[in-house]
């Protein structure tokens, strides 16, 4: 019997070594012991990174929803599967048991069929964080349709591009959505997008805000009447292991988003196994990931990973600031959350508010804290560790990507000793390596280079929808026979990895390669600083010099900016060296971010280079309004 839960560091190394020495035997054991297969595989793994092509569990037959729902009915039918916490706390939480989820997914699946959706069809899901989002995802999987969830905060243009790119024939949406004190006319955005999407035949509309919306005759249909009539039994479509499960577009931090395609069996096995171990999920725990299901984090660690383990997964509709900045902690207390998984951007925003709002609540149920999406800077790490975790809940700084499907580098809580700003050790089965600029692998420890993965893991994306060449060019052409992540990393003296930022963002100052994360980390140590982003700009002597954009904690406070600049540069000098001192420091009220909350250095770089005529599409930003302000005050 393989161990599904890793319990101590020695065991981690033991299991890790096995997973690397005999990957096929290792994953075959995990897959064989913990899942429901309609037919077992003929071959565990076939791969060739030069094509590139990866196939796991070929020949196997299964349906992922039988693994996420049906097989739990006998043992945990009455246990909460999805714990829905609405935007307005007064509305009250909704507990959806595994049995109720089973019936609701089946009904939805029958409606999809009735509306002409077939196996292999693409369905675009543009639904806010309400139960229908998770249910529609699972309903697609039930009948073998490929879901493409688009985050319901995207604009009409962004939505239309994604619908057309994967040629979706149906869109599922809602009349509107709540976001803090605001309501959003989601259906209006869909109508606008659909002016330019010839392939869409049907729009199913869930009711959420009861607004009076326009319904287009023949195309738009209210969901509820169909659900009411539908049978709550729907036979699961038996799928091939390598059939596509979903398409999901990357966040778009570095350019045009890529429609990553994930296939069923490998994705299921890896997300389930990582969920159990990276969060040390135990029976009766209540797990909460604050991401939106519109991102990969939500796909893998709100829906599929937790449900495959029979877990209770919290789904939160609202925002951290509504009704006030204590909302996250209120939810943790109310539902006795044991694992809490969020992003550095949220942690920094909450840390800015002071600790009173955290201390108001009983957070003693917490056992594990997680971070994902960006490097977490040391100051935010300590704030999270001290005030939320009270020093007793390990923080897992988990590094991974839309493309990787699951967590790749992470501490295992209570197993791997943590270290601020370090994602620490590769997860079981993951073989990272660091490459230098000449394409040579950097051996040994205390090295820094470009992060690649040498060997396939079960949930690696198989292609970019409709553009296999782009898939090959982006990930497999930089280094021979390796998956290139696009991120830079260092490996310390004990083999821990620290992500230093995106390789595209590396700045070469007087011949030295400087990653963004360590410098921003040093800047953020200054007590007055909330967030920072650095980019390069052309410099006669150094080649490039550093330009820092910095937001301060107390907006409106009149501290002497020149003194602050000196103090910040002194900090950088002490921490990293004089080479990393900033030539220009601009204080600003906000930094441009993606909708998933990541800093978009690409735009800041153009401003620093004074190339503002071609900033590209900034309408997909979370806060496009900050861009003009930054440009107006650029140095
Ligand atoms: P695009 O690929 O379209 O530019 P994106 O890279 O932001 O967008 P995602 O797949 O959502 O899209 O994000 C993955 C990236 O997020 C990683 O490549 C890395 O740069 C960053 N990241 C995620 N988790 C961490 C982490 N724990 N530490 C540091 N960086 C992280
Ligand atoms: Mg990326």
Taken in order of first residue, the domains within the chain and their CATH numbers are: 9-489 (3.40.50.12780), 510-633 (3.30.300.30)
Other C-beta atoms closer than 10 Å to the C-beta of 52 total: 19
Name which of 153-157, 357-361, 443-447 the model is least confident about. 153-157
pLDDT digits (tens, 9 = 90+) for 442-455: 999 999 999 999 99
Interior angle at CA 192, CA 191 and CA 196, nearest 5 = 105
Give the residues across from 472 on adjacent strands: none
Instruction: Note the pLDDT of residue 256.
Output: 81
Q: Record the pTM.
A: 0.96
Query: For 425-542, where are the E strands, in sequence order?
Result: 432-435, 441-442, 447-453, 463-464, 483-491, 497-502, 507-509, 512-514, 529-539
Give the residues across from 609 on adjacent strands: none
Other C-beta atoms closer than 10 Å to the C-beta of 554 total: 10
CA of 251 to the centre of ligand 2 (A): 7
pLDDT digits (tens, 9 = 90+) for 550-600: 999 875 556 789 999 999 999 999 999 999 999 999 999 999 999 999 999
How would you classify residue 354: left for phi > 0, otherwise alpha for psi between -120 and 50, otherwise beta?
left
Instruction: Note the pLDDT of residue 2.
Output: 45
User: Closest ligand to 401 CA?
Assistant: 1
Interior angle at CA 102, CA 310 and CA 150, nearest 5 = 85
* 228: its two tokens: 């009411």
Q: Which residues line ligand 1 (CB under 6 A)?
A: 250-254, 257, 296, 372-375, 397-399, 401-402, 423, 485-487, 499, 502, 596, 598
User: Closest ligand to 399 CA?
Assistant: 1
CA-nearest residue, atom 3 of ligand 1: 252
CA of 402 to the centre of ligand 1 (A): 8
Q: Looking at the predicted structure, is the pLDDT value of residue 1 above 60?
A: no
3-state class (DSSP) for residue 12: helix
Q: Is 84 exposed, middle or buried (0-12, 13-18, 19+ CB in 10 A)?
A: buried
Query: For 553-620, where are the E strands, in sequence order?
Result: 584-587
Q: By the 8 A CB rule, do 519 and 576 touch? A: yes
CA distance 133 to 150: 11
Please, what's the b/e burial string for 527-536 (b: 16 or more CB within 10 A of its CB; e: otherwise)?
A: eebbbbbbbb
Three-class DSSP labels, 139-174: HHHHHCCEEEECCCCCCHHHHHHHHHHCCCCEEEEE
* 26: its two tokens: 């290792």
Ramachandran angles phi, psi of 379, nearest 5°: -65, -45
Q: Looking at the predicted structure, is the pLDDT value of residue 258 above 80?
A: yes
Q: Looking at the predicted structure, is the pLDDT value of residue 372 above 90?
A: yes
Closest CA to 86 of 156, 21, 3, 177: 177
CA distance 371 to 83: 21
Closest CA to 608 of 565, 523, 547: 547
For residues 515-530, average pLDDT: 95
For residues 402-421, average pLDDT: 98
Query: Measured from the CA of 517, which atom of ligand 1 is nearest?
Result: 29
CA distance 267 to 135: 19
CA distance 492 to 514: 17
* 351: its two tokens: 């840390």
Q: By the 8 A CB rule, do 49 and 481 touch? A: yes
Calculate the average pLDDT of the chain.
96
pLDDT digits (tens, 9 = 90+) for 601-612: 999 999 999 998
């Amino acid at each position: 019997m393989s161990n599904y839960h890793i319990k101590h560091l020695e065991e981690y190394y033991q299991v890790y070594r096995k997973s690397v020495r005999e990957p096929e035997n290792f994953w075959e054991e995990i897959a064989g012991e913990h899942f429901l297969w309609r037919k077992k595989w003929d071959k565990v793994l076939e791969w060739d990174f030069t094509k590139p092509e990866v196939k796991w569990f070929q020949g196997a037959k299964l349906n992922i929803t039988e693994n996420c729902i049906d097989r739990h009915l006998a043992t945990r039918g009455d246990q909460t599967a999805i714990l829905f916490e609405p935007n307005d706390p007064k509305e009250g939480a909704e507990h959806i048991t595994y049995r109720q989820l089973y019936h609701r997914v089946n009904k939805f699946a029958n409606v999809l069929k009735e509306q002409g959706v077939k196996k292999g069809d693409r369905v675009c899901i543009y639904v806010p964080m309400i139960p229908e989002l998770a249910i529609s995802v699972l309903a697609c999987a039930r009948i073998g349709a490929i879901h493409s969830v688009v985050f319901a905060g995207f604009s009409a243009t962004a939505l239309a591009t994604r619908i057309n790119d994967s040629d979706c024939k149906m869109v599922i949406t809602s009349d509107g959505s709540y976001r803090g004190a605001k309501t959003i006319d989601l259906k209006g955005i869909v109508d606008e997008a659909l002016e330019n999407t010839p392939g869409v035949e049907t729009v199913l509309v869930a009711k959420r805000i009861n607004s009076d919306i326009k319904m287009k005759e023949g195309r738009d249909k209210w969901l509820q009447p169909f659900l009411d009539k539908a049978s709550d039994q729907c036979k699961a479509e038996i799928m091939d292991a390598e059939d596509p499960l979903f398409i999901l577009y990357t966040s778009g931090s570095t350019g045009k988003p890529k429609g990553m395609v994930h296939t069923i069996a490998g994705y299921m096995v890896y997300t389930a196994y990582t969920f159990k171990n990276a969060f040390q999920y135990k029976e009766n725990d209540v797990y909460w990931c604050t991401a939106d299901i519109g991102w990969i984090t939500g796909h893998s660690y709100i829906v599929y990973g937790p449900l495959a383990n029979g877990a209770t997964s919290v789904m939160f509709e609202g925002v951290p600031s509504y009704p006030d900045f204590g909302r996250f902690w209120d939810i943790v207390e109310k539902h006795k959350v044991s694992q809490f998984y969020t992003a550095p951007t949220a942690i920094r925003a909450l840390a800015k508010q002071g600790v009173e709002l955290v201390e108001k609540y009983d957070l003693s149920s917490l056992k594990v804290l997680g971070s994902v999406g960006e490097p977490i800077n040391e100051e935010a790490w300590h704030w999270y560790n001290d005030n939320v975790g009270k020093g007793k809940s390990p923080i897992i700084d988990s590094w991974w990507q839309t493309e990787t499907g699951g967590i790749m580098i992470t501490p295992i809580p209570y197993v791997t000793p943590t270290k601020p700003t370090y994602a620490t050790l590769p997860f079981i089965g993951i073989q990272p390596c660091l490459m230098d600029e000449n394409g040579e692998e950097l051996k040994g420890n205390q090295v820094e280079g470009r992060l690649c993965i040498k060997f396939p893991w079960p949930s690696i994306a198989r292609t970019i929808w409709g553009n296999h060449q782009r898939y090959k060019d982006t990930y497999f052409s930089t280094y021979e026979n390796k998956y290139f992540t696009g991120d830079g990393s260092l490996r310390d003296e004990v083999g821990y990895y620290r992500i230093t930022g995106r390789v595209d963002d590396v700045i070469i100052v007087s011949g030295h390669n400087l990653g963004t994360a360590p410098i921003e980390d040093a800047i953020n140590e200054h007590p007055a600083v909330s967030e920072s982003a650095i980019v390069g700009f052309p410099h006669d002597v150094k080649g490039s010099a550093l330009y820092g954009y910095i937001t301060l904690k107390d907006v409106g406070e009149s501290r002497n900016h020149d003194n602050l600049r000196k103090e910040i540069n002194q900090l950088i000098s002490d921490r990293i060296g004089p080479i990393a001192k900033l030539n220009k420091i601009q204080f600003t009220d906000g930094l441009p971010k993606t909708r998933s909350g990541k800093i978009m250095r690409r735009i800041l770089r153009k401003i620093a280079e004074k190339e503002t005529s071609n900033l590209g599409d900034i309408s997909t930003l979370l806060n496009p309004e900050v861009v003009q302000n930054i440009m107006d005050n650029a140095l």
